[in-house]
Amino acid sequence: MSVPIAIGIESPFLGDVYFALNQSCSTFIVSVNQLKFYFFLQLSHHQVLNGFSQYLSLARHTGIFVKNKFTGNNMKTFATLIFLLLPFIVKAQTATFNWSDETCEYESLFDSTKTTRQQIKSAYSLVYWDEFRIQNTPSVHGSEGLQRLNMDTLKNEYIEKKHKLLNLQIPDNKVWEGFRNEHLNEIEQLYKLSLITYNAFLTDEIEVLKQFKPNDPCLTYYSNALINGGDSLLSAWEHLTKIQSEKNGNPENIWSKYHEQRNSENKFLYGKIELLTFGWWNCAIDYVEYFDNQKAIKEFEKLFISTREIYCDIP
């Protein structure tokens, strides 16, 4: 049902002043001497009629609405009413959302008829936080790190985060659905890769590394050394240590750790941990399609009408 509402006024000060709501109730227009100012709305008919009925009631009680004309001092009252009416309409559809990035805190204004607060919160968590990324990855540092590897913990984390992603109330459009799918794809790939690596760490079935299919010389080199074991493993470990020392600001520490572990009775365990974590795993994760939040950040900012900085922690 359309709700045509229009009021025309003549003013000796501003010339023809006209304000109206179009029939779709989506645009509020103010025109002064044929210069039109548009205020785009998405209000229910109830909100529209309620707002205008309040205006008309106020106009009648102040005595300025006389034969659709304004004269003399009534013009000031009319101008006041215009500015009183506009915030009433705009306020009915806008809300604020406070958020922060790595350096600043912000307050943003959003159209609550287009995007709900929950959708804004969900979009924010999707873009700015790592709560949907697999944390129990098999990046082991030292033999004590093996104790934290638990297949059930990994599986439960995967199930929980996938369920949370699938039920996240994000903005209802293809762009944000695409971001959700990118996150789902990332955790799916990380989970499968982590399962393979967990098995390599926790069992003697090191051949499980062959289940990861990319044909990459780096993966082949370290997986062969791990599968063959013995001198092949020790030689690859020394080669990896050389690479690490060349990239480290304190190479002496790298070699000191290596020699200490190499002379240990658990040298093959230490070598396995080093090759799996810093060799094979570091090569493998290059093939994981991680969610890139740079595009998503731009789309997140588009959800707002305006944004202002509250505080920035910049030296």
Quick one: 67 and 184 in the same domain?
Answer: no
Quick one: 286 and 218 in the same domain?
Answer: yes
Residue 121 maps to a domain: no
Residue 237 maps to a domain: yes
Give yes or no for residue 209 having a pLDDT over 50: yes
Q: What is the pLDDT of residue 67?
A: 34
What is the separation, in whole angstroms, between the first and last Cα of the chain?
57
Residue 306 maps to a domain: no
Alpha carbons 186 and 257: distance in angstroms, whole number: 34
Residue 280 maps to a domain: yes
Q: Is the model's pTM score more than 0.85?
A: no
Q: Read off φ and ψ for residue 141, nearest 5 degrees.
A: -120, 100
- Give, in order, the Cα–Cα distances in Å from 211 to each of 72, 122, 135, 203, 220: 86, 35, 22, 15, 12
Residue 146 maps to a domain: yes
Quick one: 285 and 151 in the same domain?
Answer: yes
Quick one: 83 and 140 in the same domain?
Answer: no
Stated as kind and residue range, the H or E segment containing 95 is: strand 94-100
Residue 166 maps to a domain: yes
* Beta partners for residue 38, in sequence order: 29
Give yes or no for residue 90 having a pLDDT over 60: no
Quick one: 141 and 279 in the same domain?
Answer: yes
Tell me which of 90 and 204 has the higher pLDDT. Answer: 204
Quick one: 146 and 267 in the same domain?
Answer: yes
Residue 30 maps to a domain: yes
Q: How confident is the model at residue 145 (pLDDT cuts 50, 70, 90)?
A: confident
CB 234 within 8 A of CB 195: no
Q: Where are the beta strands (DSSP E) in the chain?
A: 5-11, 15-21, 27-32, 35-40, 94-100, 104-111, 306-312
Domain assignment of residue 198, given as a range: 134-290
Quick one: 161 and 43 in the same domain?
Answer: no
* Beta partners for residue 35, in sequence order: 32
Q: What is the pLDDT of residue 157?
A: 96
Quick one: 165 and 62 in the same domain?
Answer: no
Contacts of 306 (CB under 8 A, 6+ apart): 108, 109
Across 174-180, average pLDDT: 96
Q: Which of these three, 38, 68, 92, is where a domain ends?
A: 92
Looking at the 3D structure of the chain, how many domains does it have? Answer: 2
Quick one: 85 and 198 in the same domain?
Answer: no
Residue 113 maps to a domain: no
Name the average pLDDT for the chain.
78
